[in-house]
Amino acid sequence: MKIADDCIVSIHYTLTNAQGKTLDSSDGGDPLRYMHGRGGLIPGLERELDGREVGDAFDAVIQPEDGYGQPHPDLVQAVPIEALSQIEELRVGMQLQSQDEEGRVQVVVVEEIADGMVTLNANHALAGEVLHFAVSIEDIRAATEEELAHGHAH
């Protein structure tokens, strides 16, 4: 069976950055399972997997436009520290959750605390990064009716 839309695919992967630092890996754990063609993976990696078979192993270099995009300056915002006074031990690198105008929850990272202001960044941590994947395909199967109805692997 070849990977195509609505297949349930299991892969092992190691993700590294351009400097070779491992950012994420399924090594030593269960493979990542997803439904192909439903946006469960970044577009560039999903495209690289399309049409492959169990046992295939490959390396893929994914440019930011096909990964997490480029950083958007409008997703970086400075707010008065008083607006975050309910957060104990606020520090640089801390991840916080906020809601946008439509009520969607988003993660923001504290980038700087200075002069009574806190700089928050809502860009994905890997925005702007060239991503290097080493992938092996472990399993491919047809999705069940329930999986198709829900749009994701069970």
Q: Which domains does the chain show, CATH number per domain?
A: 7-68+126-150 (3.10.50.40), 73-121 (2.40.10.330)
Task: Report phi then psi at 120, rounded to 5.
Answer: -115, 140
**Measured distance CA(90)–CA(154) in Å, rounded:** 37
**Measured distance CA(39)–CA(105) in Å, rounded:** 19
Along the 154 residues of the chain, how does pLDDT read in single tens digits?
Answer: 999 999 999 999 999 999 999 999 999 999 999 999 999 999 999 999 999 999 999 999 999 999 999 999 999 999 999 999 899 899 999 999 988 788 888 899 999 999 999 999 999 999 999 999 999 999 999 999 999 999 999 9
**Measured distance CA(51)–CA(54) in Å, rounded:** 10
Residues 43 and 68 sit within 8 Å (Cβ to Cβ): no
pTM summary value? 0.83
Q: How many Cβ atoms from other residues are within 10 Å of residue 119's Cβ?
A: 16
